[in-house]
Amino acid sequence: MVSLLHSTIYTTYRLCRLNQGLSNRYALALSWRSGGTSGGEIVTQIRGDRALAGDGEDKLGFKPTAERLAEALAAGVASDGLVIGVTGRWGSGKSSLINLTQATLRSRPWTESPHVVEFKPWLVGDRDALLQAFFAELVAGIDQIELESDDRTGVRLRKAERAGTAIREFAGMLADASRIAKAWGEGIPYVGWIAGGLAAAFDLFAKRRPKSLAESKKKVCDRLAKLTRALVVVIDDVDRLDPTEIVEVLRLVRSVADFPNITYVLLYDPDIVSHAVCAVARVKDGHAYTEKIVQITLPVPLPEAFDLRRWFERELWAMKLPVADEIERRIAEIIDHEGGRYLVTPRSVVRTLDSIRLYWAALKGTVDLSDFVWLQLVKVGNPALYKWIEVYLTEMSALASGRTSIQDKQKAKERAELDVVLELEKATFADLHDRLADRLPGIAGFLDQSEHGIYRDVHQSDVDRAIAARRLASPDHYRLYFAFAEPANAPRATDFTDLSAAISQSAEQAQDLLRQWQGEHLTSGVTRAEVMLDRLSTKGLTSPTRNEAEHLLIAYANVMDELGERSINDFGGPDVWRRAMRSLPVLFEALGEERQAVVRRMFSEGRALSWLTSIFRNETFAHGRCGDRPDSDRLLTSDELDVVTEIMLARYRNMSFEDFAAQSQPLSMLFAWQQGGDERGPRDLLTREMETDEGLVFALEHLCGRVRTATPTSEREIVTLSRANISPLVDYEQVRARITDLADTAADETLRAKAKSLLQSFQDGDRF
């Protein structure tokens, strides 16, 4: 009978593989054309990582396989004991298949179907508990069959002749009766009449048990052979136990494998079980060891990759996610590429879909859907790559702030780690760098042959586009994709709300907010004001109105010098100035016909004279009015520059040198005055100031330049008076000679000390 059953199951398996493939394609085609699954309803709730219930929707065509397996199990009524292995990798659908099989068996008349007992070894603790739990389940199943037989035939067997009684006796022979009975009284999760029956039986059989275990087992076999209904014992998730427990379950099944009228169905991943056997039993071939116990194996039919991808796609669009055509195109490409790599089991499909359902409810409207779907596929398919991406984007976000750098040693280390995580999916950087470059900043593309291929410089325009589209590559949004959290070095969602509220009211409220933000330093060293001003250039502020743009521009004109005092000074001025100037085109564009009037007001009334001067100088050069390299990227029109020139020259002429000295960049302002068309104005002002020795020293102290020098261990700033810097404004030889004389002859010690310091600045100016 065993050989007949073996042949039946093997034939069933071959037929089911063929039928499953055909039914999948047919069901998929019908579902795809109708836009839904069977019944016209698409379930969009989070399902969780649970096996398909017996009455659940069979999306991968397991039902024909389950029906044939049920038929094969029902045919084994007279079997002398059999162990069947339903095998497949984690997530392949083993539990779903056996649930459908049990549902099919339950639908048959009880006289034509075996009684099914489910044993869950992962709920049990040590070896003794495993034995008692297993036999408790077995006894319960056998007693149920015998009770059914009594009830339906009217024949009552004597208690001593029941198969259940023989099993209890056999269990008492396998373990110490008193210890098992005690364990049952201390909370093992099988209570009631079964627990009481075992405890009483163990006490009884301790006095009158057979002389040997073999004798007890023979009695069990004799009783079981008389059962009118077969028993199927299903042991699921064997591969989820720890290695020692896996081997204990195999040994337990081996000890009872030849009980007649019982078929054991073990569900497991053969590779995991084999590895456990090799480690614990210390055998060379774990598969061969398992085959001694499991007589027949039925691999779970593997769904085709195409079917898994289309299932995923159907369920994704059933969520009714509103997307633009471009995003839909990107998602279709992702499903074909990443879906082909990562959607390898039914579980991977379910888990990815559930992840999307859970997180998208909170993230919709804040991140890009195509990047989000891509990342969820990576998270399920290659968790190590997912973690690498998170670390990489954190570093790239810090790089975007402009206040940090990545050394070659770190680049090499991170690239080596990337190679390791890609090897997990049997891929290389050369295979996937283009796919990664589509989503991640600083990844080398197909034509890029850079050394490490990661942490490459990203053009500001690319950063701006990523921010505007809320892409994964955005330093402002990447953190949302991982933890619902906004990056530490990026604007908060409330920042834009606060700014909108302030600039809609007045320039004064905008000034107060900018002052507050400039005092908030982020972890990368930048201030919140600097980050926000940077983002305004990407239209992070939703289409400002004319009044909002005017209020913010006037706020800039009044407060920018104050903000610059608390900002790092880069070449050309404070960092906050550079970031604010990048936002000017967006703001000027919003002014419309009022643009020239607002420009006039900014430059005539603004208190941030040094910042306004920097704009004036840039535009003077950009329009070719000074220097020989005009720039086509101009902020002001020619007419606007005429207005600004007139205003700024008038303001300079009305200032004393003390007024210039009170500014953060007096030398730049004097140059702007001169480069704006008044050659003599600044020279005459300085000539008057330098008539006295005190005036000479005071003026030169405010005309000094600064040069930063760096060594491997330190960095210092050198104050210089170079010929190139001051000769356009003063008679260089004359003022240097006067300072040299004062350094030797000045009667006032303070004046002489200052002169000596300035003389050193002249000498340093010769060197730098």
Residue 622: pLDDT band with limits 50, 70, 90:
very high
Residue 274 scores a pLDDT above 70: yes
- What is the token pair recorded at 458? 């990203």
Three-class SS of residue 763? helix
**pLDDT at 447 (0 to 100):** 53
Q: Are 240 and 49 in contact (CB under 8 A)?
A: no
DSSP annotation of 302 reads: P
CA separation for the pair 611, 560 (Å, rounded): 6
Q: Are 645 and 616 in contact (CB under 8 A)?
A: yes
**pLDDT at 213 (0 to 100):** 66
Residue 555: pLDDT band with limits 50, 70, 90:
very high
Summarised one tens digit per residue, pLDDT across range 412-446 is: 999 999 999 999 999 999 899 899 999 999 998 75
Sheet of strand 231-235: strand arrangement: 115-119, 231-235, 262-268, 82-87, 296-299
Name residues whose C-beta falls within 8 Å of residue 154's C-beta, 6 or more positions apart in sequence.
Answer: none
Summarised one tens digit per residue, pLDDT across range 325-370 is: 899 999 999 999 999 999 988 888 989 999 999 888 888 888 999 9
Q: Out of 14-18, 281-285, 529-533, 720-724, which region has the weakest mean confidence (pLDDT)?
A: 14-18
**pLDDT at 371 (0 to 100):** 96
Question: How many angstroms separate the Cα of 651 from the Cα of each of 604, 613, 667?
Answer: 8, 11, 15
**pLDDT at 733 (0 to 100):** 95
Chain position carrying tokens 């070894």:
121
Q: Out of 135-144, 363-372, 500-509, 547-556, which region has the weakest mean confidence (pLDDT)?
A: 135-144
Residue 651: pLDDT band with limits 50, 70, 90:
very high
Boundaries of every domain in the chain: 305-483, 690-768
CA separation for the pair 513, 503 (Å, rounded): 9
| Burial degree of 90 (CB within 10 A; 0-12, 13-18, 19+) | middle
Ramachandran angles phi, psi of 720, nearest 5°: -125, 155
Give me the amino acid identity at 595. R
Average pLDDT, the chain: 80
Residue 105 scores a pLDDT above 90: no
**pLDDT at 670 (0 to 100):** 96
Q: Are 672 and 616 in contact (CB under 8 A)?
A: yes
Q: Out of 150-159, 209-218, 547-556, 632-641, which region has the weakest mean confidence (pLDDT)?
A: 150-159
Sign of the CA dihedral 148, 150, 151, 153?
positive
Residue 10 scores a pLDDT above 70: no
Q: Out of 13-17, 45-49, 486-490, which region has the weakest mean confidence (pLDDT)?
A: 13-17
Rounded percentage of the chain residues whose pLDDT exceeds 70: 78
Alpha helices in 448-574 (DSSP H): 460-468, 478-483, 493-505, 507-518, 528-536, 546-564
**pLDDT at 378 (0 to 100):** 96
CA separation for the pair 101, 683 (Å, rounded): 99
Ramachandran angles phi, psi of 722, nearest 5°: -95, 150
Number of H helices, E strands in the chain: 35, 9
Rounded percentage of the chain residues whose pLDDT exceeds 90: 37
- What is the token pair recorded at 603? 């430059």
Q: Out of 151-155, 159-163, 503-507, which region has the weakest mean confidence (pLDDT)?
A: 151-155
Secondary structure (DSSP) of 78-118:
T-S-EEEEEE--TTSSHHHHHHHHHHHHHTS-GGGSPEEEE
CA separation for the pair 149, 151 (Å, rounded): 6
Summarised one tens digit per residue, pLDDT across range 526-550 is: 888 988 888 776 555 557 899 999 9
Selected residue with higher pLDDT from 496 and 49: 496
